[in-house]
Amino acid sequence: MFTHSNRLLVTQERYMPSFRLLFTTLLSTLLMFSAAVAAQDHSRLPQMGTTGAGFMTIERERVVGDYYMRQVRAQAPIISDPVLDSYLADLGNSLVVNSDNVRYPFNFFWINNAEINAFAFMGGYVGVHTGLIQEARNESEIAAVLGHEIAHVTQRHIVRRMQEQQRSMPMTIAGLVGSILLGMASADAGAAGLYATMGMSQQSQINYTRLYEQEADRIGMSVLASAGFDPAGAPSFFGRLAEKYRYVSKPPEMLMTHPLPEARIADTRARAENMRRVDVAPSLDFHLAKARVDARYTRASTQSELLDMAQSDNPMMQRYGQYALAIRALDSGEAEKAERLLRPLLQESPRNRFYLDVKTDILLQQERFDDVLTLLREAYQRSPNEQVITLNFANAAIEAGEIGLSIDLLRHFLLENPEHVLALDLLTAAYERSANRAAMYETRAEALALRGNFKLAIDQLHTAHNHTNSDITHKRLNARIDQLRAQLEQAQNLM
């Protein structure tokens, strides 16, 4: 939908480079400090699925998760790519619907980081590094990692560990949040603060209890099979990862936050062998998502390697190569070349959202506004309010000067997706083009609030207040200001 030359950046770059690895380490730690203990006393563990309610309510857990996610949006290199977002959400939710103890909706998002890693935290938020899909060989492998992370959330491992740790030391959310925020300014200080908060100063790295990891493996693999994936995806991916980095001095982040001793790999293999094997057909969407990440974010393959793939006898590799080459050409400003590469793919699958997205950008680069609006209007009529089509349509409408159309599309989309930051950013741009200053400032405030900047969001609402004479609008803005002040106070209490 958006290339690197576009007015709206795909990836948030407002983060410190030294913070990238620390940030994901800290978030992974938030999940897995639940297992960081020196001793393994399994008899003290409460029963699965019903634990932690007395220590932290589900509603409180959601509040904490929401706060962390706002910090992630503000500081981490999140990819705002509707095509990849839709793919990941579809894959993740296909696992969630086959999980037990799901207490709230899950949210899946991409981190633009070549490290092989994934992490989850309170409130059902699951982050996936772009490096993870580059390492996965098939959809069952990436689904295995997602299933594992989902199980950590559904079993409330964070809350369970906090409940245990409280017996021996004062464990507070405030300390953990403070360490993360400190880490944004200083990686070393943040890590030291986190370890001190968790009482882990005597440890050189994060440790996990076998129980929690085995529990996540067992439940994750069961979910994997129930969702129709091959349960062998878990031992296949984890085993290959452990073997590949067995002798390196600095293993990938996933191996540091998810240790893989031989016993654990053997256990997942044994479980897979005892489960019904599934002959899963190759997923075109998986290969296209991997190709898109390769072409635009990790750039793991060279141009010559992509050319070889495009000429492969393997149909999936062939489409991978053609699609990635089309994106590379588009991002280099070669719209005609990109169109030639994409044409056979579109002819084969004219409604494929991966292809429609690139076709949209090709037409916009060529300034063929009538053609792009016709293409997307027809697609929208078939799939109204679908994320990829709607956001492409809205963006194309802005570029074509059809501002009213864009505003209508985005407002309708946001009724169902009120926390979609990219949609809010697009709507802000549309209101700016329409010279509706009050609506522009109000919409920008909502996007800022979702990035955790409540103070600036409140300032934007005050500015919006000054750009309208409507009493009804004044009352609505005042009410929203009061809500944001309450959220700010709640966030400060977590600190």
Enzyme catalytic residues: 149, 217
**Other CB atoms within 10 Å distance of the CB of residue 302:** 9
- In terms of phi and psi (left: phi > 0; alpha: psi -120 to 50; beta: otherwise), the region of 452 is left
Measure Cα distances from 376 to 366, 379, 385 in Å. 16, 5, 12
Residue 35 to residue 418: CA distance in whole angstroms: 34
User: Would strands 125-129 and 107-111 be described as parallel, antiparallel, or unpaired?
Assistant: parallel
**Secondary element (H or E) of residue 121:** strand 118-121
The one-character DSSP state at 276 is P
What are 172's two structure tokens? 């507070």
Residue 233 to residue 143: CA distance in whole angstroms: 8
- Of 108, 82, 79, the C-alpha closest to 95 is 108
Residue 83 to residue 115: CA distance in whole angstroms: 21
- Return the ∠ at Cα 109 (arms to 108 and 115), rounded to 5°: 120
Residue 77 to residue 117: CA distance in whole angstroms: 14
152 annotated as belonging to a binding site for a ligand: yes
- Return the ∠ at Cα 47 (arms to 42 and 34), rounded to 5°: 60
Annotated binding-site positions for Zn(2+): 148, 152, 213
Annotated binding-site positions: 148, 152, 213
